[in-house]
Structures are given as C-alpha cells and as structure tokens.
Structure 1
Amino acid sequence: MSHQTQVIPDPFEFARRRNTLNGEVDARSLPRLAAEVQGVTAQPVSYELLGSQVDDQCFIAISASASLIMQCQRCLGDVCCEVEVDSRLLLVPKGEAMPDEDLEVDDFDPVHAAHDFDVLNALEEELLLALPLAPTHDDCSVPAAKENGDDRSPFALLKSLKTKS
C-alpha cells in the first residue's frame, strides 16, 4: 500500500495546474470512518484527486472506492458495502463567504481551503457522506420470533393489548 503525500501545500495552485494525486490508505487510519463501520476488508481505500479551474474558480474532484463492513439493518449481521465516491469541491479561500447563489448547483460542494489542504480529511468526509443510510443484505429478511418455541410475531402481543383497551 503506497502512502503518498497527505497534504497539498497550495490547493489553488494544484487546481490551476490541473494536478492529480493518487493513493491508497487503510480505512482503519481514518478515525471517524472507522467509528461508523463494523470493520474493513483487506483492500485499502483507493483514491484520486484531480484539480481543475473553470473561469476563476478552482475545483478538486475526489474519486474513491472502499469496501467496508457495516451492520445490516434487518438481521444485524455484517454486510459488505462497496462505497464509491465521485464528488467535486469548489475551493473557497478561508475568510471569504461561501457563494450563496452557487449552492443551488448540485454538481459541486463549496469548502473553505487554505494552505496545507488535508487530503485524508477531505477523503474521509466524502466517504462518510457516501455511506448507505440503512445497509442491508440483498437477500435478507427480518428475523422471526422463534426463540423459546414461540412462533408468534413480536407484534401479536401488542395487537392483543390494543383490542383489550
């Protein structure tokens, strides 16, 4: 696994020169992401940053893919989720206001940037935003209430309480 530079010294110059930065990182080294998932697979998170400039606006596009283990929201078991990130960040100098009229455009997100742009922090943020809200297995069903020989639905008792009142 290669660990390239994790900081871009001048993100605006990076964007103006249309530079690229590729790398791989172990998801366990991203603390906020590691706290949200059950585990990670053996494959590292691979990422690519691509700078660009349109008119006088500087952008960094982030592409990444990760294979993460999350908790299935139906059976509560582990489920492997393939997370893909493809986002574009508008670089706004620190201290300047975020562009209000451009917030309606959905193809980029404005972020404050200064010298020493933290690549791994930006990558982690985009991965967190790309996590599925309710991960489930493709062929998973809600567990049945068959503990202690009881085949009734867990809601059957609630239904009987409702009819008594």
Structure 2
Amino acid sequence: MSHQPKLIPDPFEFARREDALRGELDARNLPRVQDVLRKTEEVQPVSYALRGYRLEGKSYMAVEASAELLMQCQRCLGDVRCTVEVDSRLLLVPRGEPLPDDELEEDDFDPVHAWRDFDVLAAVEEELLLALPLAPTHEDCSVPVAKGNGDDTSPFAALRGFKASGGAKTDD
C-alpha cells in the first residue's frame, strides 16, 4: 500500500482550491474497522479519494472509498468477502459553530466539525463503518447443519428432562 499524507492542513482551503487526494491503505490499520474483520495476515485493501469543493458559499468534502473486507458470515460463521463502496459528502463546519440542524433533513451530505489538520484516515474509517453490512452473509449461504457423527440428538434434549424434573436441585 502506498504511503499517503494522513492530514489535510486546512480543509477549508482544500475545498476552496478544489484539491483532491487519493490513496490506499490496509483496513487492518483502521482500529474501529479492524474490530469487525476476520483475523488474517492477508492485506485488506481500501482505496480512497477525497475531493474538496465549494457550493453556495459552503465548503464540502466528497469522500469515496472502496474496500474488499474479510468478515464473518452471520449464518454459517465462515469467512465472507464483502465489497464495501462509499460515496458521501461532508459539509465542513468550523469548530465552535453549531452543526446546522435545519439542513439535516437532506440526505445527500453530513455536517462535520472541521479544523486544521483534518484527519483523512479517520474520515475514511468513519464512512467505511457507516457503509458496512449489519449482518454480512454469503449470497447462497444456509444455516449450518450438524456434522454426520451419528449423533442425531438435539443439543437441547437435556433441557427437556430438566424442565420435566422441575428444575435444578439445591441443597437447603
């Protein structure tokens, strides 16, 4: 993965100049994303691009990212590859100013506080987290079945006897 700057010194100037920044990173290096990944030595690539612009006197940052992440299937508990695509807009609000709540009804951007040294990787990580599937699964996955070890007894069969006996016995 190529080494890219991690900070934008002045995000409002970045937007005014309509600058752009591209890079690649390993998702295993993003602490909050790493928590939902399968543990592997394999690189989990993330490509990202940030582009600043101004619209109607306001500063924005477009964040795009794409990733191939190895996660745990919530049906079979095996490995599943998830393609995650991010395409979002951030309204840059100077620190100390309130986030606009009247514009929150618009779904095409999210207001964020910004100041000097805008953390690129934190912004990419936040947008990836928002785009992750809630319950990753294989497209053609089914619930796991018991292995053919000849034991067809339900793991809950012991509970049936427990209920019939009236519960656990305690020493008085």
User: Do Structure 1 and Structure 2 share a fold, with TM-score over 0.5?
Assistant: yes
CA–CA separation in structure 1 for the residues paired with 2:159 and 2:57: 62
Residue equivalent to 1:55: 56
Secondary structure in 2 aligned to 1:125?
Answer: helix
Residue equivalent to 2:107: 106
Quote how far apart the aligned CAs of 1:35 are: 1.3
Please tell me whether Structure 1 or Structure 2 has the larger radius of gyration of its CA atoms.
2
Secondary structure in 2 aligned to 1:103?
Answer: coil
Quote how far apart the aligned CAs of 1:157 are: 8.8
CA–CA separation in structure 1 for the residues paired with 2:123 and 2:77: 30
Please, which runs of 5 or more residues in structure 1 have no aligned partner? Answer: none
CA–CA separation in structure 2 for the residues paired with 1:158 and 1:35: 35
CA–CA separation in structure 2 for the residues paired with 1:51 and 1:30: 23
Quote how far apart the aligned CAs of 1:44 are: 2.2
Secondary structure in 1 aligned to 2:107?
Answer: coil
1:131 paired with 2:118, answer no
Residue equivalent to 2:16: 16
Query: Where do 4+ consecutive residues of structure 1 move more than 4 Å?
Result: 150-159
| Contact 2:45/2:69 (<8 A) preserved | no
Give 1 or 2: higher helix fraction: 1
Secondary structure in 1 aligned to 2:97?
Answer: coil
1:105 partner letter: E
Q: 1:47 to 1:4 in 2, by over 3 A?
A: same
Secondary structure in 2 aligned to 1:104?
Answer: coil
Quote how far apart the aligned CAs of 1:91 are: 0.3
Secondary structure in 1 aligned to 2:35?
Answer: helix
Q: 1:154 to 1:106 in 2, by over 3 A?
A: farther
Residue equivalent to 2:4: 4
Residue equivalent to 1:81: 82
CA–CA separation in structure 1 for the residues paired with 2:15 and 2:29: 26
Secondary structure in 2 aligned to 1:149?
Answer: coil
When the two structures are superposed, what TM-score results if normalisation uses the length of structure 1? Answer: 0.88
Quote how far apart the aligned CAs of 1:126 are: 0.6
Quote how far apart the aligned CAs of 1:145 are: 3.5
Report % sequence identity. Answer: 67
Secondary structure in 1 aligned to 2:59?
Answer: strand
| Contact 2:28/2:44 (<8 A) preserved | no
Residue equivalent to 1:34: 34
1:25 partner letter: L
CA–CA separation in structure 2 for the residues paired with 1:57 and 1:156: 64
Secondary structure in 2 aligned to 1:60?
Answer: strand
Q: 1:53 to 1:157 in 2, by over 3 A?
A: farther
